[in-house]
Structure formats: C-alpha cells, structure tokens
Amino acid sequence: MARLALVLFVLLLPALAQAQLVIEITQGVDDPTPLAVVPFAWEGQGTAPEDLAQVVQEDFARSGQFDPIDRADMLGFPSREAELFYRDWRAIASEYVLIGRVRGEGPNLNVHYELYDVLRQARILEGDLSSSIGEARMLAHRVSDAVYEKLTGIPGAFATRLIYVSVTRNPAGKDYFRLTLADADGARPIVLLESREPIMSPSWSPDGSQVAYVSFETGRPAIFRQVLATGEREQLTNYRGLNSSPAWSPDGNTLAMVLSKDGSPDIYLMDMASRRLTRVTRHYAIDTEPSWMPDGGSFLFTSDRGGRPQIYRYDLRSGLTERVTFEGAYNARARVAQDGRNVVLVHQRNGEFQIAIHDLVTSRLQVLTNTELDESPSIAPNGSMVLYATKFGDRGILSAVSVDGGIKFRLPARSGDVREPAWSPYVKY
C-alpha cells in the first residue's frame, strides 16, 4: 500500500507542478502603507515547518495596499512587546509592526500575534490561532485576515481557496484538463479531476465542502458534484443537449442549472435532497449563467431575449423577470457580491470583452480591465477583488483586479493555460 501511495504521488507531481500558479503584481495603490512583518519566533522541537511571517508578508504585498518592509532593513526581530523599540521602526518609516510566536504541540501549531501602531506607540490587535501542521500556510493566511480587517475595516480573504481549470498539451498534441484546488495565493494546488475531455463552470457550495462542475467525460456535457474531503463524485444530469452552468443557492439546498432537454436552453432548479427538477424560465431565447442573489429569493441570468445578451433578474416569489443591464450591446456572466448590490460581469466595449462592475441600486457600470478577451469573473467573499480569466501573450491566465480598478495582479500557471476560476466562500478551519 505504501509503495502504491508513493507511485501515485510521483505520478501526480507533474500535474501539481503544471497547476501551480505564480503571483505577478502589476498595479497597486499610489501610496501603500509601510508595514513590518517580523519573523515569528519558533517555540518547539527542530525548526518551524513553515515561515508563517513570510506567508503573511506575501499576502500584504499581494494586496497592493501595503508595502512590507524587507527583513534585511529591520533593525531587530522582536517577538514580545518588551523587545519592541518604536524608534527602530520609525527609523525605517514603518507605520505598523506585526510580531508573533509559533509553538509546536505534537501535530498542531499555535500562533500568538500582536500588531503595533508605531506612530501611536500602542498595541492595536492581538490574537491566538491554532491549526494542524499540515494547515500551517492557512494558519498564516488567517493571521493576515485578522490584521487586514483591523487596518482596513474590510474582512480579509487570504484564508480562502480557488478552483480553476488548467489545460496542458502533451507532445502528441492532446489536451489534458485538470480541475484544480489551490489556496488563494495559488499555493498547494491539488488536482481534483483529470480528463482528456473538457471541464467547465466550477461552482462552490456555500459551505465550501463541495463543488459542482460540467464534465464532458461521458461524451456530452453533464453536471457533477464532488465532495472535497473524500473525493466522492456524483453525476447529477445526463440529458440530451446542454447541461451547464451549475450554481448553488445560498442555503445549499438547491442547484440552479441550464438544460435544453425540453427545447431551448432554460434555467432549472434541482432540489439537492430529492434531485427533483423544476423548470423556472420558459422562453424561446437562450437563458443561461444563473447567479443567486444573497437572500436566495431571486437570481440573475444571461439572456438574449432582447436580441443581444444582457443580464436579467428572476424573482422566485413572484415569477417576474426584469432586465438589469442596459449599457452596451453585450453583458453576460454576472456574479453577485455578498452585499447584494455589486455585480461583476463581462461587458463588451469597442469590440473588446472586459470585466465590469454594475451597481444594482444606481445602475452605474464601471469597466475594471483594459485587456481584450476577459471572461469568467468571480468575486472574493469580502467583495474587494475580482478574479477572472484572460489572455497574456498566447496563454490563458488568471488575473485579479480590485473593485475600484486600482489594484491588479496576474496568476499565470508555470505551464499551460488556466481558465474558469471560482473564488471560495469563507470556510471554517
């Protein structure tokens, strides 16, 4: 058994390497806040299994809002308040200092962290977190989330995960598709499914325990669900024609999807307990890409019933449909933020497909990107960043942009193309 496990691990190594994302920051705020993340002291046997402070520092660098101090410029490495001398940090123009201690206890790690305001010479945050050693990086991301929320007033989204589809071509010219799970910084990729046939439209369950997606492994598109903890898979649909765009309801009890089994593509709801289907839209046009509103009482979808693709809203209580977008000849693939107000979507302007954000209250639409072929937007659970697929050179990559357009970074894979990203909800660890 051990030999088999080793063989399987070795066989997976190339897939993991190809699925690995790298971070390339391309734009940040004009005056980022200087922040020092001091190496955390290790209290345990041997050496620390992970440099948690380095992970935190990289999180803040990736945010585009902070300018982490280089360790080589630090005048000391305090891990307790008594060792902290504010003059040292004023000398290198750091506005905040984060210190910490990591203690190993058997299979677990415990971290104590403290954040100090250098100008006020005061501690403004401290906390204790724990996890298994295997989740050390996620433990660091949770520290980042707490510090980020303290400094910005916005919950952090560093301790979240991504799913995406990576595509590589072998020397014989055959494409291989991989559904990949990774941390929000692209680290620790895990291949959930590998296939010679396309994989599309991954979608998270609201508790982050399952994903739904479309796979062509049966020879035609079919919707599957997969439990992340066990790998258990279940095929949910196998109808003729389209089986696409699965989207979980906020309570996890219903899966919206697009089927053409009764004629034109329409939106259906599947009760996840009984697997009973209910047809919701009935129109000769194409209705597709459902996205639930946070209250679960309605959903947005794309339809060309007006002649060109636009975003519409269907109210489950009244059964009424209303058009949402009017600016431009093409708006599609809407995804709703948790505030229920901001919607990210694909907007066509001057022949280019770009990511935009639409305010449901004011109907104001703002284009966030300036590339030519952007698609598949997914918004972070804190509503601050949008992840999407685009082209860079001749490769498909993932990129991210803040909802105000001021922060941008790329996440290309080390090899191959990546597409169809989906940002996870908040998950308890």
The DSSP secondary-structure symbol of 275 reads: -
- The predicted pLDDT at position 5 comes to 32
Give pLDDT tens digits for 115-144.
Answer: 999 999 999 999 999 999 999 999 999 999
- Specify whether 189 is located in the same domain as 294: yes
CATH number (domain holding residue 61)? 3.40.50.10070
- Specify whether 51 is located in the same domain as 194: no
Between 167-171, 213-217, 361-365, the lowest mean confidence (pLDDT) is in 167-171
Q: Does 380 reside within a domain? A: yes
- Specify whether 231 is located in the same domain as 280: yes
- Specify whether 146 is located in the same domain as 187: no
Q: Does 159 reside within a domain? A: no
Q: Does 68 reside within a domain? A: yes
| Average confidence (pLDDT) over 282-302 | 96
Alpha carbon 351 to chain centroid, angstroms: 28
CATH number (domain holding residue 237)? 2.120.10.30
Give pLDDT tens digits for 221-258.
Answer: 999 999 999 999 999 999 999 999 999 999 999 999 99
- What total of structural domains would you count in the chain? 2
Confidence at 24, pLDDT banded by 50, 70, 90: low
| Average confidence (pLDDT) over 7-27 | 52
**Number of residues that this document lists for the chain:** 429
Residue at which a domain ends, from 152, 174, 190: 152
- Specify whether 142 is located in the same domain as 84: yes
Confidence at 28, pLDDT banded by 50, 70, 90: low
Give pLDDT tens digits for 178-199.
Answer: 999 999 999 999 999 999 999 9
- Specify whether 105 is located in the same domain as 239: no
Residue at which a domain ends, from 127, 152, 177: 152
| Average confidence (pLDDT) over 149-172 | 93
How far apart, in whole angstroms, are the C-alpha atoms of residue 327 and residue 358? 10
How far apart, in whole angstroms, are the C-alpha atoms of residue 397 and residue 166? 9
**Number of other residues whose CB lies within 10 A of the CB of residue 411:** 22
- Specify whether 216 is located in the same domain as 126: no
Confidence at 31, pLDDT banded by 50, 70, 90: confident
**Number of other residues whose CB lies within 10 A of the CB of residue 29:** 15
- Specify whether 122 is located in the same domain as 178: no
Q: Does 74 reside within a domain? A: yes
Task: Give ∠ CA 257-261-267 in degrees, rounded to 5.
Answer: 30
Q: Does 97 reside within a domain? A: yes
Higher pLDDT, 84 or 168: 84
Give the domain range for residue 248. 165-423
Residue at which a domain ends, from 152, 185, 208: 152
Q: Does 429 reside within a domain? A: no
- Specify whether 173 is located in the same domain as 127: no
Give pLDDT tens digits for 365-413.
Answer: 999 999 889 999 999 999 999 999 999 888 899 999 999 888 888 888 7
Beta strand segments in 249-330, E: 254-259, 266-271, 277-279, 287-292, 298-303, 310-315, 321-323
Quote the longest CA-to-CA distance of the chain: 73
Assess whether pLDDT exceeds 50 at residue 29.
yes
φ, ψ at 391 (rounded to 5°): -110, 140
The chain-wide mean pLDDT, for the chain, equals 91
